[in-house]
Structure 1
Amino acid sequence: MKCILSTIIACMMIIKCIGQEEIKNPVLNKSLNKYVIGFIPSKANNIFGIAIGPFGSEVICDKPYTKYSHGLNIQIPGQGILQTFYIFNSPFKQVYKNKIIDDEFIKKDTSFKRAIHNGLILSLLGTFTDQVNGVSISGWMSLGKNINGVSINLLWNLYYEINGLSIGIFNSTLVMNGIQIGFINRTVKLKGVQVGLWNRNEKRSLPLINWNFK
């Protein structure tokens, strides 16, 4: 049983970041684009049309440039199942405790993005796409750096910053500009409204509805 569990965890780590040891490779093809349909994960700079595959291009770590997709991005099953390990060990735990966001912490963790999608992204279990400009929908959990638009995940949204609408049973962000709707909503900096059973931001914690517009 221990052997099986170890194998599963090892496979998950490989999926999360392919080629991490090769990041110093100086040979980069930065002019590769795909049109109409592209299979992901991909090293292409841009995919215009439909990007489809089991995981997003953020799993490719040996190319230190951003991979873009424009249009429809479909990830089945997606990396969301890996986020289950964050449920009781949120990377924002210390920030929530202190209610203070270190600007250097944000800058360090959000400056470089391995993958950005512009449009609609769909996944069965969720995505780790760094930034989505548009709409992100999954049946489980998603983690990333920025959402500019709408993020709908059945169980959990975990993002550094969301500008727009976040819907899920649990919504966790550091910066929220817009509306959070769920059972438990949590952020450090809120400019907008939280609607749920329990809502927490830098000003107060309240049931049903919470707000801050400063």
Structure 2
Amino acid sequence: MKTKFLFIIGLLSSYLVFGQDSLRMFRLKTQFIAFTPLKNEIEKVNGLTVGLGFDSRYAPNTQSNFQKVNGLNLDINPLGFLIWMFYDPSRIAFKEAYLQVNGINISAAGYVRGVNHNGVSLSMYNYGNTMNGMLVSAITTDIEKGNGVLISGLGISAKELKGLSISIFNDANTLKGMQIGFHNKATTGKGLQIGIVNKSDKLRGLQIGFWNKNGKRKLPLVNWNFKAKK
């Protein structure tokens, strides 16, 4: 009888410890408030993130799992301007995104490669991966894909752009939408360019500016091409 009693006590204790570990693991994986850079064991934040940003270089361990933030991110990194001066996204060996942000981002610095965003972003610069929504950067934007409205003070560069791009210098490998700025460049695409200088190799659409160049001709003021280039 005594043996059975001790066995039951031991079994209940193991269940209790297991339950506490499971609860602790859930709390670690899902947070309502978290500091950035996110700890490696956090998988999701539903609420608020505050800190230095999502650059894995600031974390003690680099990200080994995909993480997600739903809500508001406040980035108070004081080194934003220095990062912008020395960070070269073209030299980053990017493989796949490690973070998805859905909501509002307000940053004294900005995103780096490996971050996807859906929503509204206000930052000094933006070097993220896929950006969807309303994105405003004080200095530059250099991303893989952009969908929505992109506004930047100095320049916007994207491999693929669908939507509206407003900056002094706009550059897109593939454009489906509109570029407005001093110098607009699109390798290929469909849409409208409005600026002082507009250049494209295979743009199907309209160019309005002081000097316009497309795959068919060079013209001042207005240029057009509505046929696909063979």
Scaled to the shorter chain, the TM-score interval is: 0.5 to 0.7
What is the aligned counterpart of 1:148 among 125, 132, 135? 132
For structure 1, which runs of at least 5 residues remain unmatched after alignment? 1-28, 93-107
1:75 aligns to 2:75 (yes or no):
yes
| Contact 2:179–2:194 (8 Å) recurs in 1 | no
Alignment of 1:172-187 (within 5 A): 172-187=157-172
Q: Per residue, is there more strand in 1 or in 2? A: 2
1:120 aligns to 2:101 (yes or no):
no
| Contact 2:72–2:104 (8 Å) recurs in 1 | yes
Alignment of 1:178-197 (within 5 A): 178-197=163-182
Alignment CA distance shift 1:69-1:172 (3 Å)? same
Alignment CA distance shift 1:163-1:78 (3 Å)? farther
- Aligned-residue offset at 1:207: 2.8
What is the aligned counterpart of 2:46 among 17, 34, 48? 48
With CA pairs under 8 Å and 6+ residues apart, which has the higher RCO, 1 or 2?
1
| Contact 1:179–1:193 (8 Å) recurs in 2 | yes
Partner of 2:38, secondary structure, is coil
Partner of 2:90, secondary structure, is coil
After the TM superposition, which parts of structure 1 deviate over 4 Å for at least 4 consecutive aligned residues? 57-61, 203-206, 208-214
**TM-score scaled by structure 2?**
0.63
- Aligned-residue offset at 1:203: 4.3
Per-residue CA deviation, residues 179-207 of structure 1 (Å, 9 max, x unaligned), is: 10011101110000000111000149873
**TM-score scaled by structure 1?**
0.67
- Aligned-residue offset at 1:112: 2.1
What is the aligned counterpart of 1:33 among 6, 30, 47? 30
- Aligned-residue offset at 1:85: 2.2
For structure 2, which runs of at least 5 residues remain unmatched after alignment? 1-24, 206-227
Partner of 1:154, secondary structure, is strand
Aligned length: 166
Alignment of 1:122-141 (within 5 A): 122-128=106-112, 130-138=115-123, 140-141=124-125
Per-residue CA deviation, residues 46-66 of structure 1 (Å, 9 max, x unaligned), is: 011111111226444534211
The whole-number CA distance in structure 1 between the counterparts of 2:140 and 2:174 is 18
The whole-number CA distance in structure 2 between the counterparts of 1:114 and 1:79 is 22
